[in-house]
């Protein structure tokens, strides 16, 4: 690279510019807890990191998780036996495979393990169901029956 395109005072070779991240709508209780834990982890990593490039990446991660930590948390439902936003749902498909999905916001994908957006086909099939119900999933392989085994609302 030509020296004309670098700055003498820029150790990393680039300047970090960010725009504020805003989490739209509520997040799940588990998403809020995981975000707060991640903020602490990133702060600890930043305190020990000297490399400017690694610090820049950690700063971006911290901005992302701080936005989650500041987001409003969805209200817990009055009937916790019914699948709704924030539920961790255990179900079995027609092939006998047991699966777990957490109905979360699209923003929480990658933060909450097993997250499925509340607008995904599997979430739409499960919403409103109770343990013992059989629901129909209109998935990419066609219609499929899902047996609801359990519902809980993790924090």
82-135 pLDDT per residue, tens: 999 999 999 999 889 999 999 999 888 888 999 999 889 999 999 999 999 999
What's the DSSP call for residue 81?
A: T
DSSP string, 100-114: EEEEE-GGGTTTSTT
State the distance between the two ends of the chain, measured CA to CA, in whole angstroms. Answer: 50
CA dist 91 and 17 (Å) reads 43
pTM (predicted TM-score): 0.76
Residues in a beta bridge with 117: 104
CA dist 74 and 80 (Å) reads 13
Contacts of 95 (CB under 8 A, 6+ apart): none
* pLDDT per position as a tens digit, 60-96: 888 888 888 888 899 888 898 999 999 999 999 988 9
Q: What's the confidence (pLDDT) of residue 23?
A: 73
């Amino acid at each position: 690279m030509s020296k004309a395109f670098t700055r003498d005072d820029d150790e990393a070779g680039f300047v970090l510019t960010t725009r504020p991240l805003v989490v739209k709508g509520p997040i799940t209780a588990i998403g809020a807890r995981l975000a707060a834990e991640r903020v602490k982890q990133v702060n600890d990593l930043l305190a020990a990191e000297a490399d400017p490039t690694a610090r820049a990446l950690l700063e971006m991660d911290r901005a992302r998780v701080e936005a989650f930590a500041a987001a409003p948390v969805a209200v817990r439902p009055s009937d916790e036996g019914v699948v709704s936003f924030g539920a961790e749902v255990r179900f079995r498909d027609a092939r006998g495979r047991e699966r777990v999905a957490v109905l979360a916001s699209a923003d929480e994908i990658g933060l909450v393990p097993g997250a499925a957006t509340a607008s995904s086909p599997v979430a739409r099939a499960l919403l409103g169901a109770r343990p013992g119900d059989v629901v129909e999933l209109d998935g990419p392989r066609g219609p499929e029956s899902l047996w609801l085994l359990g519902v809980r609302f993790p924090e």
